[in-house]
Structure formats: C-alpha cells, structure tokens
Amino acid sequence: MLYIFLEFFYVVVKVNKIDGTNVKRKAGILSIKIKSKLTKIKHPSVKYDFELYAKGGWIFFSLFCTFVTSKNSFCTQTTVMKISKEAYYSDVILIGTGIMSATLGTFLRKLEPNWTMRIFERMDRVAIESSEAWNNAGTGHAAFCELNYTPEKPDGSISISKAVKIAESFEVSKEFWASLVEQNIIQNPENIIQHIPHISFVWGEEDVNFLRKRYEALSKHHLFSAMQYSETPSVLAEWMPLILEGRDPSETIAGTHMALGTDVNFGTLSRSMFQYLEHSDEVELRLHHEVEDIKRRFDGLWELSIKDLDSGDMHYFTTRFVFIGAGGGSLPLLEKADIPEGHGYGGFPISGQWLVCNKPDIIARHHAKVYGKAKVGSPPMSVPHLDTRLIEGQQALLFGPFAGFSTKFLKHGSYLDLPFSVKWGNIMPLVFAGVHNMPLTKYLVKQVVQSHEDRMAALKEYFPNAKSEDWTLQQAGQRVQVIKKDETEGGVLEFGTEVVYAKDGTLATLLGASPGASTSVSIMIDVLSKCFPDEMATTQWQKKMLKLIPSFGQSLAKDAVLCEKTRKRTERVLFKTNK
C-alpha cells in the first residue's frame, strides 16, 4: 500500500507541477512518518529509491525533492512508461549493432519472420565500435596460430580441447555465412572473408619444443590435419620472407602454417546483415539512440528508457526479450537490468594500438597472419602478431596489438564508464582480481609508458629490418576484460567471451572479447537454445536451422567426413573455389 501511495504521489507531483518548495515541505513530513517502514520494502523495481529514503528524514526530503522534480528522473520516466508502454511494444529488442546483434537478429528474422524487432545503437552508424575493421585484428580465429589456445599441462603435454572447440565453432560460422551468400544476404563475400595463411612463429629452444609438441598434438585431429611444421629457414622464408630477412642464422626457430587461415572484415559482415534486417517491415533500426535504463515490470516484460541523441527526447519501450550486445557498453547495461545472475560482474577496460606500415612495397611482400608466443609472466592479450589485412579491397600490414589504458568502455565512450561501473556488489571482485593479476598490471604500466622506439624494438623481434619511418601508430578498439566473483579467489579475470542470462531466459548479455566475433554463430545458437528452448525444440525451427547450418545438431569435431564435406561447401560458396 505504501508503494502504491508513493507512486500516486509521484504522478500528482508531475501532473500538477507542484512547486519545488511545496514538494520539499511535504517530502520532509512524509519521511518522518514512514522512515521506519521503508526499510522493509524489498520490491526490486524500487529498492534503490527507497534505500535512499530510509537514510533519514532530511536526507530523504532533499533527495526526494531533487528526484521528483528532475526532468529525467526515474519517477518521471516510470509515469510516462505506464502511460505509453503498450504503443511501443516489440517481441525482441537488440542493443548494439556489432556482429553479435547482427547474427542474432538474422537468426530470429529467419526463424520467426512475424516477430517484431527493434534495434538500438548509440552511434550514428552500425558496427563502428569493436566490429569495425580497424578496431580488431580481423583474424578468423580458428586456433590455427594462436598459441594461447593450446596451453602446456604440468606434465609437459599439450591441451588441445579449447583449440578444437574454437576451430569447430569457426567452421559453423563459415557455414552460416555461406548460407547468407546463397540467400543473397551477403552479396560480395570477397569483401568480407579472404584466405590468409595463419602462421605460428617462435624462437629459442624452449618455445621451439613447445611448438613442435603443439603441432604433433593438433595435426592428429582432422580439423588441423593440413597443418605444416618446419624448422628449416628456407621453408620458413617462403612462408614469411620479411621475418627471416636479417635474422641471425644461428638462431633456433620454428613455425607452423595453415593455408586455410582467413582474414574477416566483421564490420562489413555486420552491415550486410543489418541491411537485410532493415528491409523487413517487422524490424526497426534506430541509430543515435542510447539506452538509459532497463527495468523489469510486474508482468514480466522489460521496460527500456531510451534517449534520442539528436532531439534529446526520451522514449520508452517494452519487450519480452532483450539482448545486450553493446561491446564494452554491455556491463553498465547489465548492471542497470539488475538481474541476480549479473551481480558481482565487473570490467577492466584496455585500449589497443597498432603499428601500421605505410610502405606499399613492404606491405606487398607479406601475406600471412604471424602469431608469436607471449613472454613468461605476460597475459594472453600480449601475444604479438604481424598481420596482413584486407580492408575494402586494400591490403594493409599491422603489428601489435599494444595495450593502452583508458577508463572508457567503448572507443567512443565516456571517461566515467569505469568509475560508474563500480558497485558495492562488484568492488571486492575487482580488488581481488587486481591482486591476483599483478603480471597484467605490470604489463599495462609498461605498455602505457613505452615510446615509439620501444614499440619498434618489439616489431624488430619479428621483422628485424623494420625501419621506424615506415610505421605509424594507430588507435584500435576498446575491450573490457570481464571480472567476476569467485568463491575461492574472491574475483577472477576472464579473457574469453561470456554470456550472462536471466534465469528465465528473457535477457542475455554478452561480455568479453576474443575470440567472440569468429565464434559469434555458435554463441548465438547457445543464446537461442537457452532463451527460446520451446521454440528450438519445434520441428519448424529445427528445419530452418538445418537450412542455415547444414551440420546443425552434429559435431564437426567428431565427424571427419562431415567436416570435410562442410569445408568443401564453404570453400565453394565463400571463396568461389571448386574444391
């Protein structure tokens, strides 16, 4: 009854435009009468307001006055949402226009074409944050060359389970993209995906032994059977001439080579899918709109308060399912949603930088993605690579990434993102994760203070003849490393991709970084399975999934014949080969 009275009081204040002084007087009197009762109210949609009121009479009175009379206060928004929510309902709301939202939106459009869908993006164009070509390495992560996916066990053997899972997931991604080409959703696949050999390169006896053992373990699996290994300088020079030129001939070196490696423009890929979605009458894409709040209603629907950044107007929407795929901006939105499953999550932002070659003759001589091994004590993200990129028909050559520090969660975000993300529920996991990851802290400090000469020294470990004047520094994207509560450690730092689900499956939030984009299709299939289990069990959805992904329901990692058949199809469709 007390909640209903206060809701009514909010409406009276707003509708009758009560003078601030009068509100102040009434609020002070009201706080004295109900102070002791407010602490007992536990409803999740109002607990943050009432916790403030319960502090005491005068605190209640001043905050309540400011809260009620503020133009964009939650009270004002709640009043408007109660009036207008039915007019702005949609079956699905997607937040963010990166590769994840594009993939999930395309799946849902194919599976349920009559469902209404709204997509919101804070920028004025789609896919210009993490998915944009210059903001990521563009590596089609298939674990061909990324050494951190195959850790060495205490007994000296190599674990390949993570590598197999990632390789299988990338094959599934290619299957889905091939289907989109066949259905004319992707019209020019050569602008999206190209074959670029993936090479692992190491030096020194210890790392060479590691790479040899890795090759022996991986090459026995059919997903990696085409992998080549060599310690012969002349062979390595054919694979990567720039890296062998000027190198000490007495140095112990080794490399592996996978011709099936790829470079992917995830920005162009995302835009192709959003163009398809925009052509539907059931889909509405709103650019330059920022999600201000997400709240759960009594009837189970989600209410979203969304600001039009052009006009400044607030709009309100309801839906039965929300997907938060806003890159680094996902964590603050997860905190606003306030689901129990999201409590204890934090994030640590890390920016990226590339050295970009400006000499066409050097760029033309390198045609591979060459990954090295992180130094002892360094975090996985510090793995350097010399990358050929194909962006909008132009070949580029990048080295990095080098880490920088910014409190922004997005490249075009706010410097207040990090401090505003710290809550009582995640402050201890953040502290413990920092204590347990001192190598990361030291690495970031060294990265932030290094000079151009320091970066060139790192490049010369791979390209000995590199000249400083041929390379310029360019800012890449922003990533947020996930930190979550842990019963044993207090807080742990996660380096992969993670989806946080509401218990009832009505909200899913994607957090984390690599190898997310490359495995986006498998991740979104998991989202569909967990958030729409009844629909996924129907014959209708099963048939449609098989049309989009012919291997759906089967294991490419376990079935070598199916894997070979799948690769032949994707080679023919995506790369226009006759294999």
**Sequence-ordered alpha helix ranges (H) in 497-558:** 520-531, 533-536, 539-548
Residue 165's CB is within 10 A of a number of other CB atoms, namely: 16
Tokens in use for 431? 């502290």
Q: What is the rounded distance in angstroms from the CA atom of residue 491 to the CA atom of residue 330?
A: 19
pLDDT of 40 strictly over 50: no
pLDDT of 87 strictly over 60: no
pLDDT at 380: 62
pLDDT at 10: 39
**For residues 549 and 172, is the Cβ–Cβ distance under 8 A?**
yes
pLDDT at 514: 67
**For residues 300 and 506, is the Cβ–Cβ distance under 8 A?**
yes
pLDDT at 376: 63
Q: What is the rounded distance in angstroms from the CA atom of residue 428 to the CA atom of residue 409?
A: 20
**For residues 277 and 261, is the Cβ–Cβ distance under 8 A?**
no
Q: How confident is the model over 240-294, as pLDDT tens digits? A: 999 999 999 999 999 999 999 999 999 999 999 999 999 999 999 999 999 999 9
**For residues 82 and 318, is the Cβ–Cβ distance under 8 A?**
no
Q: How confident is the model over 416-448, as pLDDT tens digits? A: 777 878 777 777 776 766 667 776 677 777 777
Q: Which of 468, 469, 473, 443 is nearest to 457 (CA)?
A: 468
Peptide bond into 401 cis (omega under 30): yes
Higher pLDDT, 22 or 389: 389
Write the CB contacts of 413 (distance below 8 Å, at least 6 apart in sequence).
328, 329, 478
The amino acid at 412: H
Q: What is the rounded distance in angstroms from the CA atom of residue 69 to the CA atom of residue 63?
A: 10
pTM of the entire structure? 0.81
Q: What is the rounded distance in angstroms from the CA atom of residue 61 to the CA atom of residue 75?
A: 15
Q: Which of 554, 542, 515 is nearest to 130 (CA)?
A: 515
Our CA angle for 511, 191, 117, nearest 5°, is 45
Residue 492 — very low, low, confident or very high, per pLDDT cuts 50/70/90?
A: low
pLDDT-wise least confident of 131-140, 379-388, 434-443, 509-518: 434-443
pLDDT at 377: 56
Q: What average pLDDT score do residues 220-224 get?
A: 98
Higher pLDDT, 273 or 83: 273
Q: How confident is the model over 530-579, as pLDDT tens digits? A: 999 999 999 999 999 999 999 999 999 999 999 999 999 999 999 987 55
pLDDT of 3 strictly over 60: no
Dmax (CA) of the chain: 87
**For residues 386 and 463, is the Cβ–Cβ distance under 8 A?**
yes
Q: What is the rounded distance in angstroms from the CA atom of residue 218 to the CA atom of residue 149?
A: 11
pLDDT at 378: 62
Local structure of residue 374 (DSSP, 8 states): P
**For residues 253 and 202, is the Cβ–Cβ distance under 8 A?**
yes
Higher pLDDT, 49 or 195: 195
pLDDT at 578: 58
Q: What is the rounded distance in angstroms from the CA atom of residue 370 to the CA atom of residue 462?
A: 9
**For residues 519 and 513, is the Cβ–Cβ distance under 8 A?**
no
Our CA angle for 473, 475, 479, nearest 5°, is 140
Residue 188 — very low, low, confident or very high, per pLDDT cuts 50/70/90?
A: very high
Share of the chain above pLDDT 70, in %: 80
pLDDT at 143: 96
Give the helix/strand (H/E) hosting 177.
Answer: helix 161-182
Residue whose structure tokens are 């050559």? 397
pLDDT of 350 strictly over 80: no
What are the helix and strand counts (H, E) for the chain?
A: 21, 21
pLDDT at 411: 67
Mean pLDDT of the chain: 83
Q: How far is CA 82 from CA 15, 314, 355, 507, 551, in A?
A: 14, 14, 52, 21, 46
Q: How far is CA 45 from CA 85, 294, 295, 339, in A?
A: 16, 10, 7, 11
Q: What is the rounded distance in angstroms from the CA atom of residue 23 to the CA atom of residue 264?
A: 58
Q: Which of 363, 53, 35 is nearest to 196 (CA)?
A: 363
Tokens in use for 325? 């795929």
Tokens in use for 79? 């009043």
pLDDT of 300 strictly over 80: yes
Residue 407 — very low, low, confident or very high, per pLDDT cuts 50/70/90?
A: confident
Write the CB contacts of 36 (distance below 8 Å, at least 6 apart in sequence).
none
End-to-end CA distance of the chain: 71
pLDDT at 346: 83
Question: Strand runs (DSSP E) across 418-496, as ranges?
Answer: 471-486, 490-494
Give the helix/strand (H/E) hosting 167.
Answer: helix 161-182
**For residues 331 and 421, is the Cβ–Cβ distance under 8 A?**
yes
Q: What average pLDDT score do residues 317-342 get?
A: 94
